[in-house]
Chains A and B, each alone.
Chain A
């Protein structure tokens, strides 16, 4: 430790720390422009000047390391002078157009000038008056206001690893922007916008629409993916103006992705349902709550009086813990049925179920920080920056800062590929065979025999890449496996997960601190929804519903007897077909998005006596629904979400309920009352209390704590210290895993290896786009400006050969139909694969998959994400 005196106060800091750090510790914060705790110091702006008492020299606080006995003055006359001069120089060419600058009011440059009174300059100067770069649809670059601190360029390089902008020209003419005078082409995270200390970068979506001091900031959690970013909703008169973030905030430490930052318009868009709708003579007509609820309640009562298991429920995996918990209890207790399922089945059941069986928990043993600290990271069937942006950032940081060795096993280059030691291209649906092979080879000493090599070639993997992977796996102790969409959706996804669990067991990695499996959920609360029991096989707390003892535990607690066995989506559809299930209630879930045969679905759902759809937008299901109830969005109601890392984070209401919409829980509670039944919940917070009481390990937690205050000044987020455990307990997991063995498939196991497309065929696959989340965001005007239609991503080599350009159409032909789709030629796609963004999958696209739904026997996950097609350019 080094002793330093700051303004007469002595502090001890670690050697190597800067004066800035020491001063902060001593309670004398130093002003900065170009400094950021997450990035390497640049020493570009000189505003952090401090005086060394002994030598009377001024030095830059952000880049000067402390030495023992150093005496520093942070507010001396000399320091003030230096800072003032600096500001004068910075303001020399600055346009001083604060009154029309979006940044005015929250501008560090403005604040600092105010503090140091440096508004007039002793130097002759002319004001810059270059035109703004308006080419991008998202960000506007105003070089006149730029002080060249370089933060935007550095955050894009060092944190985002996107490198979209840079310094252009030299000396006085230097500006910031995208290269070659082109339109900005990047991931649109908006981090540069957020970090810029001036109004040099502004948000085109909301330019001139707000004054910062008139807005209220409400801290909440993004529900669009498993990263669980903490962000600030800036509102005016209960309407959202923009989303911002704050340095260090939440697990995301201040970074948020394009969906989080710009995707908020879908909740205040006129396509939103604003009234309950009732089907009358084949048409949906507006009604009132007092009209619809009694009618639904009556029908439900009469259906339920006929016996148990006659009603089914589907719930979205964006739904908070509270609503999910209430929903399953409503279905199980009030409606006496165990037919219940959620979007989390598709999202992650293939890995959740084996993990729960093996480890007893869904919470991971590792988090993003372990990823940053890992020696080896294996990303298999996942596109981290796209599926869970913050994990993507963690992986990039791991490689850059920590030299972690990154292996990427996928069918295409994904955004972290450039950082990978090896990109191992694998045919779709081959993860199970691949991992099983790795395990066997590792068990047998780690070298590949001829048979293994043959298999690798067959599934498209590079033998050399796998050899490197094997040698890294056998010599490393901190290994994290990241799985995602392609893995979780693969035909043998369940078997692949078992193979992965077994592989970790084989290598003794379950016992190793810092090692583990990190699945990327599909939406904001996949894990939470499963923990709450919103799937037929699990009662709350992941208790097997097939076990009478478990049913008794919950039944007694709830004062009821619980029905069994029920089923998931597959059984629900069959039950409706048979006429056994008469009513269905969906909460934000729309099976038309993923069941390929929409005709069958329409026919089946059409048999229902009662279909109640609770959602924010009208979707295909409305055709067959009897009631459409408007649901409040995550920006309107409270709730808690479980992130991929296991944090349990609250969402806070920031806008008024849209039209007459109500929170899901409120709708359900009203229905219960209307039915004359009862559940012991008065209101929303009584549900939260119940959950946190019965699951003591599910306590609100986040990284870095939280400090924002709610609307009325109270702290909405009583988030405890960052040390609250969010990860699973390793000892418990280790003791469970000892007794675990991979199960046996009840039916015929799906093929563990994919098939190479023959002749001129391609494998067509659905994948996620970075700019969207589910189909929700296709209602978002901002995100639709960024990506407004589904383009089929085709290998660039092929496109060049066939002379098709971006936006040209090709005929996509499968065994079940032909459609025409516009293409986007991309580099790095395996030359036999084409990908289509799932958000834009409509009936036409899904119809390519034909009528058969293949369900994984053990997880009930519908596959049908991969298919052989031929492509033919439309001339």
Chain B
């Protein structure tokens, strides 16, 4: 099956899934770990993949879906290349987190939880990221950015866009 990861087409075959499951001895108890690996690799857990993992581990699809939807870390849909996790916890909230969120919505034309059409960005407001001293803060693909302002946020977005553009150019010229 062909799946879009970060905007790019990615192939994930049944055999690859079987292999991941086998690494965990096809144990029922390893379901969360298996899903984590799949999510890490593909950015989300496609329906067919979920079913295959269920078949491999001997877990009914209904229970697999229960696990998938129970943990907020798992996604059923592909997500953008840059996940903008904007903290809307208490400290960040009083320091203007909403303004950051609004800025993103306005500029990228997406709502919370949505991807941009080019699959570059996903906006994901989250609760306290544990660095309240740096409020308001955000995390993008694992990197923290503190003491943000709406303008700084916009700058960062432009920066990511440029990075991506030059990367694409390189790969075009290389080919």
Contact = CB atoms under 8 A, between A and B. Distances in A.
Interface in A150-164: 153, 156-157, 163-164
Interface of B: 47, 50-51, 60-66, 69-72, 76
Interface stretch (A66-74, A166-174, A594-602): A166-174
A179 B70 contact: no
A168 B65 contact: yes
Contacts of A362: none
Contact of B65 (A156, A157, A170, A179): A179
A165 B66 CA distance: 9
B64 to A, nearest CB: 7
A182 B60 CA distance: 14
Contacts of A169: 69-70
Nearest to B67: A166
B70 A170 contact: yes
A139 to B, nearest CB: 14
B62 A164 contact: yes
A166 B70 contact: no
Nearest to A178: B62
B62 A163 contact: yes
Nearest to B71: A170
Contact of A166 (B51, B62, B72, B76): B62
A827 to B, nearest CB: 9
Central interface residue in A166, A168, A169, A180, by most chain B CB within 10 Å:
A180
A163 B63 contact: yes
Given A168-B66, A180-B51, 8 more contacts: A164-B60, A168-B65, A170-B69, A170-B71, A170-B72, A178-B62, A179-B61, A179-B65
Contact of B69 (A153, A163, A165, A168): A168
A66 B66 CA distance: 34
Contacts of B47: 180
A87 to B, nearest CB: 27
A166 B50 contact: no
A164 B60 CA distance: 8
A165 B51 CA distance: 14
A168 B71 CA distance: 10
Nearest to B58: A418
A316 to B, nearest CB: 38
Interface string A166-197: 11111000000011100000000000000000
A825 to B, nearest CB: 16
B50 A167 contact: no
A164 B62 CA distance: 6
Contact of A180 (B60, B65, B72): B65
Nearest to A166: B62
B66 A180 contact: no
Contacts of B76: 180
Central interface residue in B47, B50, B62, B72, by most chain A CB within 10 Å:
B62
B75 to A, nearest CB: 13
A168 B70 CA distance: 7
20 contacts: A153-B62, A157-B60, A163-B60, A164-B60, A164-B62, A165-B62, A166-B65, A166-B66, A168-B66, A168-B69, A169-B70, A170-B69, A170-B71, A170-B72, A178-B62, A179-B62, A179-B65, A179-B66, A180-B50, A180-B65
Contacts of B50: 179-180
B61 A180 contact: yes
Contacts of B51: 180
Contacts of A153: 62
Nearest to B61: A179
Interface string A140-155: 0000000000000100
Contacts of A156: 62
Contacts of A164: 60, 62
**Which 7 pairs from chain A and chain B are nearest by CB?**
A163-B60, A179-B65, A166-B62, A166-B66, A179-B61, A169-B69, A179-B62
Contacts of B62: 153, 156, 163-166, 178-179
B56 to A, nearest CB: 14
Central interface residue in B64, B66, B72, by most chain A CB within 10 Å:
B66
Nearest to A156: B62
A448 to B, nearest CB: 30
Central interface residue in B60, B63, B64, B76, by most chain A CB within 10 Å:
B60
A169 B63 CA distance: 11
A664 to B, nearest CB: 45
A595 B47 CA distance: 46
Nearest to A418: B58
B157 to A, nearest CB: 30
A698 to B, nearest CB: 43
Contacts of A167: 66, 70
Contacts of B69: 168-170
A500 to B, nearest CB: 32
A190 to B, nearest CB: 17
B123 to A, nearest CB: 20
Nearest to B48: A180
B49 to A, nearest CB: 11
Central interface residue in A153, A163, A170, A179, by most chain B CB within 10 Å:
A179
A157 B60 CA distance: 9
A118 B64 CA distance: 37
A866 to B, nearest CB: 30
A164 B65 CA distance: 11
A266 to B, nearest CB: 31
Contacts of B65: 166, 168, 179-180
A168 B63 CA distance: 9
